[in-house]
Amino acid sequence: MSESLPDIRKLRDQLDAAECDARLLTEDLGEERGCWRASAESWSVAQCLDHLAITNQVYLGAMKDPAIRARAAGRLRRRPASPGFVGQWVATRMEPPVKAFSKMKAMRNIRPDTSTSIADAISRFLTSHHKIRDYLNTNADLDLAGIRFPNPWLPGIRFSLSTGLHMITAHERRHLWQAWRVRRAAEAAARKDLHLTVCGR
């Protein structure tokens, strides 16, 4: 069924694009540059991916039970899986490029491990994508735009399941954009170090 639904295909295409981008990001990167940080407060490429994997897991955890209850109640698809006005606004704020005024500090429970390796981070990210796809395929026949779940970080705030799925993909684009900037900075730092080494001989 999900194969014939344009809105579900769009979400799946966004997941595919993010996964492709993550694979390109980590291609031939190596552990040293994958774990490089511009400062103690900055994130590495590995940390960006680890943050996405953790956040995806938390989101899916919050969205799981509402979908189960909705299926038991027979709340099947009535409209496309699109976010509402507020949900669209929140998701849009997550989109790159990230402006200074839209920067947000990650909550403690979704902060990445400072010691994570690039290999572990990309593996966890891809695993989280497998779970998102399973969720999407399993629940495509539900009224995703009408079923709400509690936001895991904002008590009292509830979003539709469709908003949650769009927030996941927007959040991924945000931090993949960030990770590419980190990779380019790491490569520039490596070139600078090499230049200084050569010039010092």
pLDDT value at residue 198: 39
Q: Span 187-197, mean pLDDT?
A: 70
User: Is the entire prediction scored with pTM above 0.75?
Assistant: yes
How far apart are alpha carbons 201 and 191 in whole angstroms? 16
pLDDT value at residue 115: 83
Closest-CA residue to 58 (of 154, 182, 122)? 154
Domain boundaries along the sequence of the chain: 2-199
CATH number of 2-199: 1.20.120.450
Q: Span 6-31, mean pLDDT?
A: 95
pLDDT value at residue 1: 53
Model confidence pLDDT, tens digit, residues 162-183:
999 999 999 999 999 999 999 9
pLDDT value at residue 190: 82
Q: Could you tell me which residue, 4 or 200, shows the higher pLDDT?
A: 4
Write the burial class of residue 4 (CB in 10 Å: 0-12 exposed, 13-18 middle, 19+ buried): exposed
Confidence of residue 200 (pLDDT cuts 50, 70, 90): very low
Q: What is the mean pLDDT of the chain?
A: 88
Model confidence pLDDT, tens digit, residues 40-64:
888 999 999 999 999 999 999 999 9
Model confidence pLDDT, tens digit, residues 54-92:
999 999 999 999 999 999 999 999 999 988 788 788 888
Task: Calculate what percentage of the chain has a pLDDT beyond 90.
Answer: 65
Q: What share of the chain is helix, strand, coil (3-state, %, to 5)?
A: 65, 5, 30
- At 114, phi and psi to the nearest 5? -70, -15
DSSP 109: G
Q: Span 110-114, mean pLDDT?
A: 78
DSSP 95: P
